[in-house]
């Protein structure tokens, strides 16, 4: 289980670092990370503060795995200790399934650059995070 824990931490740390990079103005890799309408217009334009909030949240998820498996000694609130993994599982499985429109495996709009990358990389990564976390829950 330690391998899965460290893998999930590294995934979250990497994605978090990428969001911090974008928050500080970096452009690499940012071309197709927001869903677009059929006319190519983004559904939303991420604000800097939102990008930093996502970066902090993702890093928090990664650290949560390390805490849960005793690699960092921190006492968690009881509700977080009991429900934390289920919250992460829910977020990432639901993200993989998607909104049935622009994101996830069951999206209608499949031809944009974002949609192609979502099908190939983003949704599978979300599913992987959810499934690996389920494995940690049931095999611990």
User: 40-81: per-residue pLDDT in tens?
Assistant: 889 999 999 999 999 999 999 999 999 999 999 999 999 999
**pLDDT tens for the 140 residues of the chain, in order:** 999 999 999 999 999 999 999 999 999 988 899 999 888 889 999 999 999 999 999 999 999 999 999 999 999 999 999 999 999 999 999 999 999 999 999 999 999 999 999 999 999 999 999 999 999 999 97
E-assigned strand segments in 25-98: none
By 3-state DSSP, what share of the chain in percent is helix, strand and coil, each rounded to 5?
65, 0, 35
């Amino acid at each position: 289980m330690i391998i899965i824990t460290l893998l999930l931490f590294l995934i979250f740390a990497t994605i978090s670092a990428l969001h911090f990079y974008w928050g500080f103005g970096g452009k690499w890799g940012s071309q197709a990370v927001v869903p677009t309408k059929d006319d190519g217009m983004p559904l939303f334009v991420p604000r800097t503060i939102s990008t930093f909030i996502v970066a902090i949240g993702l890093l928090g998820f990664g650290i949560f795995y390390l805490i849960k498996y005793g690699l960092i000694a921190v006492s968690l609130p009881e509700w977080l200790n009991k429900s934390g993994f289920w919250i992460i599982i829910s977020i990432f499985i639901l993200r993989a399934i998607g909104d049935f429109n622009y994101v996830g495996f069951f999206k209608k709009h499949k031809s944009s650059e974002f949609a192609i990358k979502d099908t190939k990389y983003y949704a599978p990564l979300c599913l992987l995070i959810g499934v690996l976390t389920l494995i940690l829950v049931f095999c611990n």
